[in-house]
Amino acid sequence: MPILIDGPQGRIAADSLAFDNEEELEKVIASQPNLLETEDEEPLALVNSQVMLPEAGLLDLLFVSEAGLPVAAEVKLARNAESRRLVVAQVVDYVSALTSLTVDELDQRVGGLLETALRSFDAGSDIDEFDRRWQAVGANLRAGLARVVLVLDDVRPDLERIVWFLSDHSNLDVRLVTISKYGTQKVGIMYVPRIIISAQGKTVARPTSGPRPQKPELAQVIQSYDHMAASDLQTRGIATWYRQIRPPEWPAGFNVHYEFVYAHKRIGVELHLENDRATSLAPLLSQMAGRKVGPSQNELQWDPKWSVGRGRLMVRYALTEPPDTIAKSMLDLIQLTRESIANQASELNAALKAAT
């Protein structure tokens, strides 16, 4: 069915055109992510196309929102037999694999393009919100939060029924979008989006008040640690997959914290550097790799790739490890590093003030 365009040259009928293939539709969306957005919604930036996800295969397009929400898009043409039930299984598999990654692992898989996409939101602005967005992506991945978008040129009733069911009866943030192609010799090619199903505005299970249920193994470790730790070193936050510890004497401006994290069916005892000023502490902390912590005397490891190369000091335990053992490892890590970080951070702060 054609559409009519009123313009300076009068009314022009634009004919409905077919996409040559899925690659054509994919390129249109990659160049114009706003086709997938609702009104007044935060903008999207393309991270990469054809992203290989662990055990799930190639995801057509990966975007990230300005608020730090990962958005996975799968593109199909209605004439493709996979545009029915199979595509639903694909996207569930993709979002499951995507949210199994840490933010650093995801950035590595896309060759650093996640950082590029997040920084693109600040282009032409004097405000640098990259660190906030980077941490938001990490928090969303840890919580298993991502949006999945099915993009087609036309949708069959059975697929729409299935996606409606997923949207209404699961926690999955799923969106169904069609893109129609029209063209005339005078106007050229036009692409018209239609968002058929969106989780925006409907009730979706999200942490609206109070913490989400923790992994039981992590909860036991947190309980054990908080029972042992001093009042100024209690864990903070309500996230499902991690808890942070921030000594009060550490200078403001250095985004450094200790963290218990549940990842890949292990529990990490970690010290994170997560902004550019904190990077100055990397030489000090990297020298502590090999030091032993906890009753089992596990060796600390230095991960130089964490947080876009800023680094983290860490040791990880199997879920079967006694909670007290993991908790005592954190106490040892704090005792080993707390004072040194406070002293060096204070010296760096004083040097920066003197320079200005």
252 in the same domain as 308: yes
CA separation for the pair 60, 44 (Å, rounded): 15
Report the percentage of the chain scoring pLDDT > 70.
84
338 in the same domain as 245: yes
Domain annotation covers residue 209: no
Instruction: List pLDDT tens digits, range 70-92.
Output: 999 999 888 776 556 677 888 88
DSSP string, 158-225: HHHHHHHHHHHHSS-EEEEEEEEEEEETTTEEEEEEEEEE-STTS------SSPPPPPHHHHHHHHHH
CB atoms within 10 A of CB 113: 18
Per-residue exposure over 215-226, b if at least 16 CB sit within 10 Å of its own CB, e if not: eebbbbbbebbe
159 in the same domain as 102: yes
Q: Which of 56-70, 140-154, 174-188, 320-334 has the lowest mean pLDDT?
A: 174-188
DSSP string, 95-138: HHHHTTS-HHHHHHHTTTHHHHHHHHTTTT-S---HHHHHHHHH
CA separation for the pair 66, 132 (Å, rounded): 10
Residue 127 CB partners (closer than 8 Å, separation 6+): none
189 in the same domain as 73: yes
Q: Decide which of 166, 197, 228 is a domain's last residue.
A: 197
C-alpha to C-alpha distances, 297 to 292, 293, 315, 329, nearest whole angstrom: 5, 5, 10, 8
**Domain of residue 251, residue span:** 216-355
Number of domains in the chain: 2
- pLDDT score, position 55: 82
Domain annotation covers residue 160: yes
CATH of the domain at 298: 3.30.1460
Domain annotation covers residue 206: no
Q: Decide which of 197, 232, 249 is a domain's last residue.
A: 197
- The listed range with the strongest mean pLDDT (33-37, 152-156, 224-228) is 224-228
292 in the same domain as 154: no
Domain annotation covers residue 179: yes
122 in the same domain as 65: yes
280 in the same domain as 171: no
- pLDDT score, position 214: 65
Q: Two tokens at 171? A: 């926690």
Instruction: List pLDDT tens digits, range 292-338.
Output: 999 999 999 999 877 767 889 999 999 999 999 999 999 999 999 99
12 in the same domain as 155: yes
CA separation for the pair 101, 141 (Å, rounded): 7
Domain annotation covers residue 208: no
> Is pLDDT above 90 for 106?
yes
Q: Two tokens at 84? A: 């029915």
57 in the same domain as 174: yes
